[in-house]
Amino acid sequence: MSTTELTARQTVKKLSRAGLACVLTAFLLAGFFAVRNISSWRTRITYPGEESYEGCALAEIARLGQGVPIYAPPSDEGFAGATYGPLYYLIGSSLIHPERPSYTPLRLLSALAILGCAAGCGLLAFWITRSWLAALLGPLFFLSYGVVTFHGVSALSDSVSLLLFFAGFLVAYRFRNSRAILLAAPLMCLGFYYKPQYIAGPLAVMVFLFLEKSYARLAQFLGALALFGFGLLGFFQWIAFPGQQFWRHFFLYQATLFSWYQFKIGLLVFVLMFGVAILLAFEYLRTHPDRMLLCYLCCAVALGIATIGKQTAFIQYFFESILMVSVLVPALVIKRVERASYPVDVMLLMAIALFAGQWYTPPAPDSSAVGQCETVQTYFRRNFPPHARAIGLRGGDLIQSGFDTPFSDLLQTELLARRGVVPDGHLLNQIRAGWFSLIVLDFDLRTETDPIWLNYYLTPSAREAIKSSYQVINSLDVPDPEKLWKDDRFYIYVPRFKELKGN
C-alpha cells in the first residue's frame, strides 16, 4: 500500500461522526456556491457583448491581427494604450478572427486557466495536509468566490497570468530546498509578460530565501528572473514588435493615477469580502507554521491593498489572496477535524467567508441582454458603412459592428493624457476635424451636469471638442451587462459638417 493511500485511510479513521458532519457541511457550503457560480459560465462565455471592460482589449487584439502596430507612438492615425502584457495580445490575436472578433475564445482560455488555478489550490492543499479531503475542498472553495466567476472567465488577461504565476510558485514550493527552485523563474516571467500584476509569488520566494539565509540560492533565483525577464523583453522589443515603442507601453503606461477614494473603497471591500477568510488562513499558519506560505500570504495581501488604489483597479487584484485562503482555510478545517474535535468556530467563520465571497457578483447576461446587444450592433451596421472610424468608451461594440477604431478607446487615451504621459493632441485634432464617423458616449454633453460622469473618461478639452464638432442624432439602450449606472444609454454623435474628407 502506498504512503498516500495509507494516509487517506488513516484520515478517514480519525474522523468521528461529528467530524464527518463537519466535513460534509464544509463541502455542501463550498459546493453549493461553486456549482451556483459555475452554472453561469456557459452563458457568460457565449454572451456576444462586453462584460467587465473587455471591449478595449478585444479592439486592440483585433487591430494587432489586422497588422496594425499597437505599440506605435501617438499620431494622427491613431493610438492604442496596449497596457496588457504582450503575450496576451499575441495569443489573443491567434485565437480570434480580426474581421469578426469574438470574446468567446478568450473567455474559454480564461475559464481553462481558472480551472487550472483551482487544481493548483487542491494540489497545494494536499501537499501541506496529505489529505484528499483538503485537496477536494480547496478547488471548491476557490470556485465559490463570485469574483472568480465574474472576472475569472472574462476575455481579459488576469486568469492566465494568475495561473502562470501560481504554477511558478507551486514549482518553487515543491523544490524550495533544492536548486530546482530556479525552474519557477520561466513560468513567473511568462506570467509577468501576460499581465504584470500578480507578483506575490516571486516576491514570496525572494523573501523566503532571504529569511532562510540562502543568499546564494537567492542570488541564483534573481539571476534566473533577470535572464528570462530581459531575454523576453528583448524578444518582444526587437523581434515580435520591431520598430515600435513596446518598452514604453509596457513599463510606463502600466501605472495609473492613485485615487484615495478608490483606495478607501477597495480597502473596505477587502475587509468585508476577505477579512474573515484571511484571519482563518493566518490561524492555520499559526498552528502549522510554514514560512514560505506565510511569505506568499503576506505578499498577496500587501500587494492587493497597495494596488487597489489605482483608478482602474477592481476586486480581481485580490486574486492571489483568494488562492491562499482557498488552500489554507480547507486545510484548517480538515486539520481541526482530524484532531477529533468539532470546530464550530471555524465552521461558522468559514460560512461567513463563503457568503461574503458572493458580494458583487453581477448576474449572468440573460436573453434580453443578448437582444439589447444585437439591437446596438444592428443599428450601427444599418446606419454607418463598414470600416467607418469610430471611438467610444467600449471599443468592443464598435469593432464587432465592423468599424475601425484607430484610437482604441477614450478611457485609456484620456487617462494617460491626464497624467501627462501621452499627449491627447492628436485625438483632439481629429475630433475637431470631424475625422470620426461617430463617437459613442454614455451621456448627452448638452444636458449632463454630473461632474463624476463628465470627467469619468473625458477631459474638459475632449468634451469641448466633441460639443463643438459633433451632434447627437440618436440614443440607444446600453446592454445591461455594460451599464455604468441604471439609466445608462448610448448617445450617438456624428460630425456637424456636411462634407467630411476620408469619412
Does any domain span residue 415?
Answer: yes
Cβ-Cβ contacts under 8 Å for 228 (sequence gap 6 or more): 185, 186, 189
Based on the fold, state whether residues 206 and 110 are members of the same structural domain. Answer: yes
**Strand, helix or coil for residue 51:** coil
Cβ-Cβ contacts under 8 Å for 489 (sequence gap 6 or more): 442, 475, 476, 477, 478
Does any domain span residue 63?
Answer: no
pLDDT (tens digit per residue) in 334-349: 999 988 667 889 999 9
Which domain does 132 fall in, by range? 15-54+103-356
| Least confident residue range of 99-103, 242-246, 416-420 | 416-420
Of 233, 223, 148, 150, whose CA–CA distance to 181 is shortest? 223
pLDDT (tens digit per residue) in 346-370: 999 999 999 999 987 889 999 999 9
Question: What does the alpha-carbon distance between residue 464 and residue 445 come to, in Å, rounded to a whole number?
Answer: 9
Cα maximum dimension of the chain:
84
Q: Mean pLDDT across the stretch 317-342?
A: 92
Based on the fold, state whether residues 456 and 378 are members of the same structural domain. Answer: yes
Does any domain span residue 223?
Answer: yes
pLDDT (tens digit per residue) in 43-57: 999 999 998 789 999
pLDDT of 502 higher than 50: no
Q: Provide the percentage of residues in the chain whose pLDDT is more than 90.
A: 76
Q: Mean pLDDT across the stretch 189-197?
A: 96
Cβ-Cβ contacts under 8 Å for 177 (sequence gap 6 or more): none
Does any domain span residue 76?
Answer: no
Of 189, 201, 202, 198, whose CA–CA distance to 156 is shortest? 198
pLDDT (tens digit per residue) in 119-139: 999 999 999 999 999 999 999
pLDDT of 503 higher than 50: no
Based on the fold, state whether residues 371 and 352 are members of the same structural domain. Answer: no
Q: What pLDDT does residue 251 have? A: 87
Cβ-Cβ contacts under 8 Å for 33 (sequence gap 6 or more): 143, 144, 145, 146, 354, 357, 358
Does any domain span residue 398?
Answer: yes
Q: Mean pLDDT across the stretch 271-284?
A: 96
Based on the fold, state whether residues 344 and 384 are members of the same structural domain. Answer: no
Does any domain span residue 81?
Answer: no
Q: State the Cα torsion 355-358-364-366 to the nearest 10°.
A: 50
Contact 132, 11 (CB under 8 A): yes
Q: Is the dihedral of CA 227, 166, 58, 92 positive or negative?
A: positive
Question: What does the alpha-carbon distance between residue 143 and residue 123 come to, in Å, rounded to a whole number?
Answer: 15
Q: Mean pLDDT across the stretch 80-98?
A: 95
- For residue 244, how far is the Cα from the chain centroid? 26
Based on the fold, state whether residues 327 and 423 are members of the same structural domain. Answer: no
Based on the structure, what is the number of domains in the chain?
A: 2
Return the DSSP state at 471: E
Rg, C-alpha atoms of the chain? 25
Based on the fold, state whether residues 278 and 372 are members of the same structural domain. Answer: no
| Least confident residue range of 179-188, 326-335, 475-484 | 475-484
Does any domain span residue 209?
Answer: yes
pLDDT of 388 higher than 90: yes
Contact 292, 204 (CB under 8 A): yes
Could you tell me the three cell numbers for 306?
497597495
Based on the fold, state whether residues 113 and 250 are members of the same structural domain. Answer: yes
CA atoms within 13 A on the CB side of 405: 34
Distances in Å between the Cα of 38 and the Cα atoms of 151, 166, 197, 437 are: 12, 21, 25, 41
pLDDT of 391 higher than 80: yes
